[in-house]
Amino acid sequence: MKSVAWGETSPVMRVRRRAVLVAALLLLAGGIAAFLVPSRQSGRGAVPARDDDARRVLRDLAAWDAATHDERRAAAAWVAARTDGFAFDGTETFGFDGHRHEIAVFAHAATGLEFSLVPGGTFLMGSPEGEWERESREGPQHSVTIPGAFLLCRTETTQAAWERVMGTNPTTGTIGADQPVENVSWDDAHTFCGKTGLRLPSESEWEYACRAGTTTPWWSGDDQADLARAAWYRGDQNAWTRFVNRVLGWVGRPPPATGHFAVAQKDANPFGLHDVHGNVSELCEDAWHDDYDRAPTDGAAWRRKEGGRIARGGSWQHYADYARSAFRSWVGPGARYAYVGFRPAKSVAP
């Protein structure tokens, strides 16, 4: 038998060491992947909470975050048991820095869409004086309390979901099952919601869910450089684009951007919602008002029969200023545009 000198290794030992090294690398890679990619904890087997316990956990974001994982699962199971057509699929953790939340995800049978369970809470609606590109229509900034949890679609309504319910596809841009449906009016969205037991979110619900506990111009941060990971949009705002937008108007704008993109390609916000900034603007239930003077403070929609309807979030053909969490725009209730879609909601029984 051949001897091995000190400091040398036999072929067998070298093979063993390589195997150990490969195994260690695989374990490390798996750990990194688990950290970077949200891992959904199954909702299977979750037992509904008692009424008082569920309401306590769901009443506001602080109570939701303070609850244990099992308490959040039980509260989500309670919601599923009381909400027709929805199944509790599990929980995932979303967010960044100090804005990280474990969110319950639901599957909606009629549309095939996923919904986030958004806990209630209180927030400042509108933009503060001095925010970059702020407009008077975004004020006065005021406190709004969303009195309880509600379900909100994790993406804009897709063309697949629209065709599944309506049997047609009105989209004028890129066609695809996972592309957002557009060229639909506020009236059209109401028809879709009526067929599926859903509704449009109020403007305050929309902004509360878009911000997801943040107070910066976009949920992703306070710099335009932070927006690229969260939104499909025309580009950063600068002196030239501001002049084109505010002085020359639509006639003076450069050729439009390429169009909308498949949903859920950008990062989700801390409530697990994709594309709240950019891609397509999202219709809300509220009628247009020039500012927030005498606006509701309880999360309800601000209705009236006449006038335009709220659209939020900016779109693929708008610059970064229109994608801000506080930016407001409006469209006629029967108007259809290639950059306007919607994100449905569902009330949770109290």
Domain regions of the chain by residue span:
41-156, 203-347
> What's the CA gap between 261 and 85, in Å, rounded?
28
Tens of pLDDT, residue by residue, the chain (350 residues): 444 443 444 554 454 555 545 444 444 444 433 444 457 788 888 999 999 999 999 999 999 999 999 999 999 999 999 999 999 999 999 998 889 999 999 999 999 999 999 999 999 999 999 999 999 999 999 999 999 999 999 999 999 999 999 999 999 999 999 999 999 999 999 999 999 999 999 999 999 999 999 999 999 999 998 999 999 998 865 555 556 555 555 444 444 557 999 999 999 999 999 999 999 999 999 999 999 999 999 999 999 988 999 999 999 999 999 999 999 999 999 999 999 999 999 999 88
Using alpha carbons, select from 343, 299, 303, 308 the residue that is nearest to residue 329: 308
Per-residue model confidence (pLDDT) at position 13: 47
Instruction: Specify the DSSP class assigned to residue 5.
Output: -
In degrees to the nearest 10, what's the CA dihedral of 267, 271, 272, 273?
A: -70
Per-residue model confidence (pLDDT) at position 38: 53
Query: Contact at 8 Å (CB) between 46 and 88?
Result: yes
End-to-end C-alpha distance for the chain, whole angstroms? 80
SS3 105: strand
Residue with tokens 């403070």: 297
| CATH assignment of 203-347, among 3.40.50.2300, 3.30.300.30, 3.40.50.150, 3.90.1580.10 | 3.90.1580.10
> What's the CA gap between 193 and 199, in Å, rounded?
5
